Structure formats: structure tokens, C-alpha cells
């Protein structure tokens, strides 16, 4: 028996294909160790469309805050394909009755490999922040970009693959709960699980991001993979893994809270968006999402393109990038965690730049351009729901029967809420921070008063400012004090 990764392979009667041996390569990955790259994977990896991923930082602007976060989409996609292959091979060995064939294994592996082909500069910033502002109304996501770039890579490099396999790979990348004719539905749980979010994409990026940014993680994805079974066309897990799964979703939440939505990283992201919006009419950045030949060259290097340009129309964009290099970034002003009952106000119609300007004091001189309002919801993966409630388990005493496990049977210390909505305020002009914070808190006081007026005789929930974020009354004195400390 030969053991590679998590899968045991019986080599006693194996017939070795010399061409497969010649075309196979191995890479040493810091997360998974040696990864085998077969000829089908290499056909995609050794293309300009896949090599582009070397120039896309996995955590986007977070690299400016976490120096170790220099890893790229390239290695994440290889790691995800490795795990996808391990999962489907393991299921095939443990449950031969599933009739998993070579095509299933190949397509699931390639879906893991190509699932992030469509990411743009600075990862999620591109499709979540830049595109909605640069091309409002267009329906576009990085998953759609992955499908576009998959087709382009096949056509440009003459990759020999059946049309039905390409369609299957695209569906695996998108993920679905809707039955697909002639396909095994549990395969759609492996790369992009829409049922409960437990998939190899998450296994890899959580472990890889934790490793690179220095965040400790206690959950073990290898146990999940070894203790999975297919019951009623669904991936189920040993009931002993319930707390391990809870830890995985908590780690995801923690990464969003501490890394992906770090205040300084978000401030830099806002500056990147401003710079790219200024440059868009000249460099046609946003037009690339519908042209794969242009999108192939669109990476994090777009920032270098702006810096190198001598075009006078890009002067303001160059100035913003220079500010980032000098750490003269947009300043965080305030943050409010909304009570669940008031989460619905987290939209631009209730709290926005214009409303904050409308609550200025007489001597305040900030304008709407100085204010940036950001809304975000941080959750365990399924918004208000506990994702573990959507997972089915089995027991060694009854391996073919699935059942859910309520959170109170996992631990009494698990969260009672699984989502928080946050309002954050930044400013483009550091000297206006104090003014903007006072105005924003006046707006919050008004909203609280309106809630009380609408609920006579009761105690409605209110938004409470965090005293830790309260700025000094005279910010000019605070800035002068810092300067004196710097020159001692």
C-alpha cells in the first residue's frame, strides 16, 4: 500500500502508464507537502491564463498590513485541486458503490484547480468594490470570470477536453443544489458547497491564510476529509467532527474580523478603488471583464501601470498610490455594530455621507467628499444561520443513516448569533476626523431617538458608540503631541 497525502492507494496490481509517469510533476507546498500534478492539471497550469494567478495576492490589500500575507491565488488553486482530488479519491476507495469514475475524479480536480481563474486585481476588492462603481448595473462576479477564462485557456492553448466535461467543471465551480441530469450530486459539495459551505476551497484558504499571516487555527481539515461519507447523495461527517466543523466556521469568522476586514487594510482598499476609478477612463480597466484577452493581463500590477504612466489624467491616481507607499492612508473615524433588530438600516438610505454632512456643527468645514461610509456583515458563512445546522452526520453504529446535530449537543458555549452588521466610517482628509466623528454620532443619536419615539412604553434597541474609538476634542493638539514624540 502506498500512502500519498490522505489517500491509500493499492499498488499491488497497478499497471504503470509510462506516458503518465513522464508527464507527472511534483511541487512542494508549505501547507500540503508534495503535491502531484498530473498531465490533465499541467495542461491548464502551464498556460498564461493560469500563470496570471501568480500576480494576484490572495488577501488583497491585507498584504499591506500583514507582511507574511504575500501568497497568491496560484498556490491556493493548486492546493484546492489537491484537496479536491484527495476527497473524491478517498470517497471512491471507501465507498466503491458510489461508482465514481475517472471522469468524475478528473473534472472535480480541474474544478478545484480553475475555480479562481476569474479573480481580478486585489482579489475580492475588484468584484465587490471596483466593478459596481465602475460599471453600475453590470452583473459580474469572479466565478463568471473563472468560466470566461476557463473557456479562453482551452481555446488559446488547444486543450483537448470534451464539451460536456467543460460544462460539468463550470457547474462544479459555481456549485448548485439543483439536480443536474446524469451527474452525481454529492460531487457538487466538494469544491463550492452551496448546501452548508464545507468545501475544499475553504479548507485550503483558511489553513493557507492562517499560516501566512500568523493566525493560529485549531481545527483540522484532514480529519474532516478522512471521516466523510456519502449518504443520500450528500457529503456527511462522523458525529465526532461536529465541534471540529464549528471551529472551522469560527476560524473563518475570525479571519474576516481580524485580517480580511482589518481597518488599515480597508482604508488602503478604499484608496486603491479611488485610484483605479480615476484611471479607468484611460486604462479601460473595467472593460476587461468582458474581454478575456485583456483580462489575462489584468493583475495587481495595474497599480504599477498607474505609477509608471506619465499621462496627466492619472496624476491624482498616482498621488493616491504614493500616499499608500508613504503610509499616509485614509483614516478610520468610527465604527458601530448594529443590534440585530436594527440591521436593516445598514444601507445608504439611512446612514450615508450626505446624512453625516447634514449633522455638522456650525464651525465644521468637512464636505461629502471627505466622508466614506462602509457597510459589512461578518458571519460564519450563512449569514444569520449556524452553518453546522445545515450539515448531516453519521455514527459508526449506523453508517448509512444521516442526522443533524443541534448546537446544544455540540457545546453550550457556541455563539447564539452568527452574524453581525457593522457600519464603518473613514475619511479621505485626516484633519477632519474629529468633526466627522462628532457629526456621525449626532446622526446615531437621532436614529436612536427616532426608535424610542416609534416604540412608546418599551425599550427599543439602540446603537451604542464604542468609547475606545472616541477621539480627543481637539485633534490638532493630539497630532502635535505625536509629532513631538516622533522627534524626541
Q: What is the DSSP letter of 200?
A: H
d(CA 388, CA 116): 25
Query: Active-site residue among 32, 71, 142, 379?
Result: 142
Is residue 128 within 8 Å of residue 189, measured between CB atoms?
no
d(CA 424, CA 416): 24
Active site residue 142: yes
Contacts of residue 441, Cβ cutoff 8 Å, sequence gap at least 6: 334, 465
Q: What is the 3-state secondary structure (H, E, C) of 457-485?
A: CCCCCCCCCCHHHCCCCCHHHHHHHHHHH
Alpha-carbon torsion 327, 330, 335, 340, what sign? negative
d(CA 297, CA 274): 21
Q: Which three cell numbers stand for residue 286?
A: 473595467
d(CA 248, CA 382): 13
What is the DSSP pairing of strand 234-238 with strand 393-395? parallel
Contacts of residue 288, Cβ cutoff 8 Å, sequence gap at least 6: 294, 295, 297, 298
d(CA 171, CA 178): 11
Detail the DSSP E strand segments found in 262-339.
331-338
Query: How would you class 475 by CB atoms within 10 Å of its CB: exposed for 0-12, middle for 13-18, buried for 19 or more?
Result: middle
Question: At 309, phi and psi to the nearest 5?
Answer: -65, 145
d(CA 147, CA 166): 9
Place of cell 459580474: 140
**Active centre residues (catalytic):** 142
Amino acid at each position: 500500500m502506498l500512502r500519498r497525502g490522505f489517500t491509500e492507494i493499492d499498488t499491488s496490481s497497478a499497471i504503470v502508464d509510462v506516458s503518465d509517469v513522464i508527464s507527472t510533476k511534483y511541487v512542494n507546498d508549505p501547507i500540503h507537502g508534495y503535491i502531484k500534478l498530473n498531465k490533465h492539471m499541467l495542461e491548464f497550469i502551464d498556460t498564461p491564463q493560469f500563470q496570471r494567478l501568480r500576480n494576484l495576492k490572495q488577501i488583497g490589500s491585507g498584504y499591506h498590513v500583514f507582511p507574511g500575507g504575500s501568497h497568491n491565488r496560484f498556490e491556493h488553486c493548486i492546493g484546492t485541486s489537491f484537496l479536491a482530488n484527495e476527497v473524491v479519491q478517498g470517497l471512491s476507495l471507501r465507498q466503491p458503490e458510489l461508482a465514481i469514475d475517472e471522469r468524475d475524479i478528473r473534472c472535480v480536480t480541474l474544478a478545484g484547480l480553475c475555480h479562481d481563474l476569474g479573480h481580478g486585481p486585489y482579489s475580492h476588492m475588484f468584484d465587490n468594490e471596483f466593478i459596481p462603481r465602475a460599471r453600475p448595473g453590470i452583473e459580474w462576479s469572479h466565478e463568471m470570470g473563472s468560466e470566461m477564462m476557463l473557456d479562453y485557456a482551452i481555446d488559446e492553448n488547444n486543450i483537448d477536453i470534451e464539451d460536456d466535461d467543460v460544462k460539468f467543471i463550470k457547474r462544479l465551480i459555481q456549485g448548485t443544489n439543483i439536480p443536474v441530469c446524469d451527474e452525481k450530486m454529492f460531487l457538487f459539495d466538494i469544491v463550492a458547497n452551496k448546501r452548508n459551505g464545507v468545501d475544499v476551497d475553504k479548507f485550503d484558504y483558511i489553513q493557507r491564510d492562517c499560516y501566512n499571516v500568523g493566525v493560529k487555527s485549531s481545527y483540522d481539515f484532514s480529519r474532516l476529509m478522512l471521516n466523510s461519507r456519502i449518504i443520500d447523495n450528500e457529503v456527511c461527517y462522523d458525529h465526532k467532527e461536529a465541534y471540529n466543523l464549528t471551529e472551522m466556521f469560527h476560524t473563518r469568522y475570525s479571519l474576516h474580523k481580524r485580517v480580511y476586514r482589518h481597518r488599515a487594510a480597508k482604508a488602503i482598499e478604499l484608496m486603491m478603488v479611488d485610484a483605479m476609478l480615476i484611471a479607468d477612463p484611460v486604462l479601460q480597466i473595467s472593460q476587461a471583464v468582458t474581454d478575456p484577452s485583456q483580462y489575462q493581463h489584468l493583475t495587481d500590477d495595474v497599480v504599477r501601470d498607474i505609477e509608471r504612466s506619465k499621462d496627466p489624467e492619472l496624476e491624482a491616481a498616482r498621488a493616491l498610490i504614493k500616499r499608500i507607499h508613504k503610509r499616509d492612508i485614509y483614516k478610520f473615524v468610527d465604527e458601530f455594530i448594529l443590534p440585530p433588530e436594527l440591521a436593516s438600516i445598514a444601507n445608504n438610505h439611512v446612514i450615508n455621507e450626505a446624512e453625516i454632512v447634514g449633522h455638522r456643527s456650525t464651525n465644521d468645514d468637512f464636505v461629502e467628499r471627505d466622508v466614506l461610509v462602509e457597510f459589512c456583515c461578518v458571519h460564519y458563512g450563512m449569514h444569520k444561520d449556524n452553518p453546522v445546522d445545515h450539515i448531516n452526520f453519521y455514527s459508526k453504529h449506523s453508517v448509512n443513516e444521516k442526522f443533524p446535530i443541534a448546537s446544544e449537543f455540540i457545546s453550550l458555549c457556541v455563539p447564539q448569533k452568527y452574524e453581525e452588521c457593522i457600519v464603518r466610517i473613514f475619511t479621505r482628509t485626516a484633519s477632519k476626523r474629529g468633526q466627522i466623528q462628532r457629526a456621525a454620532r449626532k446622526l446615531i443619536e437621532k436614529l436612536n431617538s427616532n426608535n424610542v419615539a416609534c416604540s412608546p412604553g418599551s425599550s427599543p434597541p439602540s446603537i451604542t458608540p464604542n468609547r475606545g474609538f472616541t477621539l480627543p476634542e481637539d485633534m490638532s493638539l493630539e497630532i502635535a503631541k505625536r509629532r513631538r514624540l516622533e522627534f524626541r
